[in-house]
Amino acid sequence: MGRIAALTRNPAMIALVAALAITGCASKKTPNSAADLGLNGAGAATPGSAQDFTVNIGDRIFFDTDSSSIRADAQTTLSRQAQWLNQYRQYAIVIEGHADERGTREYNLALGARRAAATRDFLVSKGVAANRLKTISYGKERPVAVCDDISCWSQNRRAVTTLSGAGS
Amino acid sequence: MKFILKPLLMVATIALGSMVGAAAPAWALVEINVNKGNVEPLPIAITDFQSNDALGAQITEIVTADLKRSGLFAPIDKSAFIEKISGPDATPRFDDWKVINAQALVTGSVGKEADGRIRAQYRLWDTFAGQQMAGEQFFANDANTRRVAHIIADAIYERITGEKGYFDTRVVFVDESGAKNARKKRLAIMDQDGANVRYLSDGRAIVLTPRFSPNRQEITYMSYESGQPKVYLLQIETGQRELVGNFPGMTFAPRFSPDGQKVIMSLLRDDGNSNIFAMDLRSRSTTRLTDSTAIDTSPSYSPDGSQIVFTSDRGGGSGRSQIYVMGADGSNPHRISFGDGVYSTPVWSPRGDLIAFTKQSGGEFQIGVMKTDGSGERILSSGFQQEGPTWAPNGRVLMFFRDSAGGPKLVSVDLTGRNEQQIPTANYASDPAWSPLLE
């Protein structure tokens, strides 16, 4: 049920929840591609909407164990995010940093914070105004995938770019 | 949220002057040396406290459970008892107890005074020496019968082991319920044996890592209630809360200084790293203790307040955290953990001799102890997912939490590593912190 919880934070995605519920806990893949959400391509979301951002751009990146380095695949996602955010400037942005459960609580709070900061810094380097960006760490408190194996842990080591403010 | 922590015992602990051979020297027969590696539990007979109601049996049950869980005592089943104790002041027939191998014997009585208070008394006997080892009398108000039993258990433990007990204590922890990806977390407090649970927060905000003040009346913890995770203080009796410090970023990993005058914690820097600060609770002044481009967290003072042990990944090596010790002013930080693994959550023993930690090694999470220079590492417990040790006030037992089968539970282990016990809690439970002995 992890992806559902993550997506319901984004109001525009609520309509998708019912469809997702069918897939249940089989959240082995990254939940940020249009195909994965059953939308068959880009057309379903209004350009510039939060749904557009989550579905067509990808709201999250993933990290290696114990690392806050922005991987090559994550750089691609964040560059896309930056371009979109620079186009739709009405949004304020909160970057959530998360860790998997294979670390202790306090260290993981710090690690989640470091991931959120690294993500913020990358977006700023791509021209997103720093004053639009806030960060928060959830450590290992909000796993998106809940099972005890590597496929889940890798999904939980993430930074999620969430939109707020006017226009959503 | 009014919650009275201590409508205390009227602490009048009176040695019974009329008792035979009070505090006799000849107690060498009945002794447990807790420093020996492999302790054989001491066979002890704990008779039902005499009373006009169920109170007597209840006291006996609590004392028995405390002593048994310590791993140092082997309470003898009541069905083996031969002598029926005739009264609280009678000398037992020691032969009847020796023959069932009861090396120590506890007798006692409990009853209501005219003013409504409870009066309890006990005597501890050395059956082989044929003498009384200890005897005391307590007065308590009605709400504290469990505490009376814990205090008696502590007295027996101390008389026989020579170490302070830890039964008249409480544990603050995080009660967890609901799905793993949407856990409801509530601050809660209970007796060390799991009884008398009270909730201290409503579960609307994530709360983490509560820790007791040395004065037993406050806790410090981390909460997301303002949106930004921050360290707070909570007065247990009044429910009054306040933010600790006025820092721009996330504050976390709080812990009191041994004198209760400071809270030490991590503060998130703008660059994403975390450093350690201390805040004086009276002057509100803050002191930076580390300034590294690393994660510095989980600080814990030595009991004399002169040193701080903490977790840091400043040594590099793909972000592997290790344990460091520095002066209380931040001077001379040096690494003390050099084993094969990742170390975190160091906690200094209240005795000062050891540091407990969580170690990740070989796909397992281990709870262990090392000397304060990092030597003499011993692993006490291993599991798939467990962390966060807290010390019993006598420095002989640790409690931590272990995640398995859907959620975490609290577990205690003694320093031999042989006596592991799950603490009964209604829901899942994590982040335990042990109080000092109550007053």
pLDDT in tens, B69-79: 999 999 999 99
Question: Considering the domain boundaries, does residue B166 fall inside one?
Answer: no
Mark which residues 114-173 of B lie under 8 Å from A by CB.
Answer: none
pLDDT of residue A15: 36
Closest CB from B270, B298, B318 relative to A66: B318
pLDDT of residue B29: 59
Question: Considering the domain boundaries, does residue B2 fall inside one?
Answer: no
Rounded to the nearest angstrom, the gap between the alpha carbon of residue A118 and the centroid of all alpha carbons in its chain is 14
Nearest-angstrom CA–CA distance, B101 and B98 = 5
Domain C-terminal end among B135, B161, B187? B161
Contacts of B270 in chain A (CB under 8 A): 117
Q: Is residue A153 within a helix (H) or strand (E), and if so which, with residue range?
A: helix A150-156
B14 and B74 inside one domain: yes
What is the DSSP secondary structure assignment for residue A132, as one 8-state letter?
Answer: G
The answer to whether A118 faces chain B, any CB pair under 8 Å, is yes
Count of domains forming chain B: 2
**Which residue range forms the structural domain that includes residue B412?**
171-434
Query: B136: burial class by Cβ within 10 Å (0-12, 13-18, 19+)?
Result: buried
Distance from CA of B350 to the nearest CA of A (A): 21
B153 and B52 inside one domain: yes
- Provide the residue ranges of all domains of chain A, joining segments of one domain with +: 2-164
CB contact under 8 A, B387 and A117: no
B151: domain CATH number is 3.40.50.10070
B219 and B130 inside one domain: no
Interface confidence, given as ipTM, is: 0.90
At residue B372, the 3 state secondary structure works out as coil
Say if residues B294 and A66 touch (Cβ distance below 8 Å). Answer: no
Going A130 to A136 to A140 to A144, the CA torsion angle's sign is: negative
pLDDT of residue A8: 36
CB contact under 8 A, B387 and A136: no
Domain C-terminal end among B141, B161, B181? B161
Q: How many Cβ contacts (< 8 angstroms) between chains A and B?
A: 105
Question: What architecture does CATH give domain A2-164?
Answer: 2-Layer Sandwich (3.30)
B242 and B294 inside one domain: yes
Mark which residues 262-301 of B lie under 8 Å from A by CB.
Answer: 266, 268, 270-274, 295, 297-298
Domain C-terminal end among B108, B143, B161? B161
pLDDT of residue B208: 98
B340 and B359 inside one domain: yes
Question: Considering the domain boundaries, does residue B3 fall inside one?
Answer: no
pLDDT of residue B22: 39
Going A35 to A36 to A42 to A43, the CA torsion angle's sign is: positive
User: In chain B, pLDDT over 70 holds for what percent of residues?
Assistant: 91
Q: Which residue of A has its CA nearest to B273?
A: A114
B149 and B187 inside one domain: no
B334 and B309 inside one domain: yes
Contacts of B319 in chain A (CB under 8 A): 66-68, 111
What residues of chain B score a pLDDT lower than 70? 1-30, 34-38, 317-319
Question: Considering the domain boundaries, does residue B37 fall inside one?
Answer: yes
B394: domain CATH number is 2.120.10.30
- Which residue carries 């989980």 as its tokens? B298
pLDDT of residue B317: 66
* pLDDT tens by residue, chain A, 168 residues: 333 333 333 433 333 333 333 333 334 344 444 444 444 454 578 999 999 999 999 999 999 999 999 999 999 999 999 999 999 999 999 999 999 999 999 999 999 999 999 999 999 999 999 999 999 999 999 998 777 677 788 899 999 999 987 433
pLDDT of residue B180: 84
Q: Is residue B79 within a helix (H) or strand (E), and if so which, with residue range?
A: none
pTM of the entire structure?
Answer: 0.87
Give the tokens for residue B172.
Answer: 């603050």
Q: Which residue of B has its CA nearest to A4?
A: B181
Q: Which residue of B has its CA nearest to A113?
A: B272
User: In chain B, pLDDT over 90 holds for what percent of residues?
Assistant: 79
B148 and B221 inside one domain: no
pLDDT of residue A39: 47
B72 and B194 inside one domain: no
The answer to whether B307 faces chain A, any CB pair under 8 Å, is no
B291 and B409 inside one domain: yes
Question: Considering the domain boundaries, does residue B439 fall inside one?
Answer: no
Q: How far is CA A153 from CA A74, A103, B24, in A?
A: 17, 11, 61
pLDDT digits (tens, 9 = 90+) for A81-103: 999 999 999 999 999 999 999 99
pLDDT digits (tens, 9 = 90+) for B2-37: 333 233 333 334 344 333 333 434 444 567 776 666
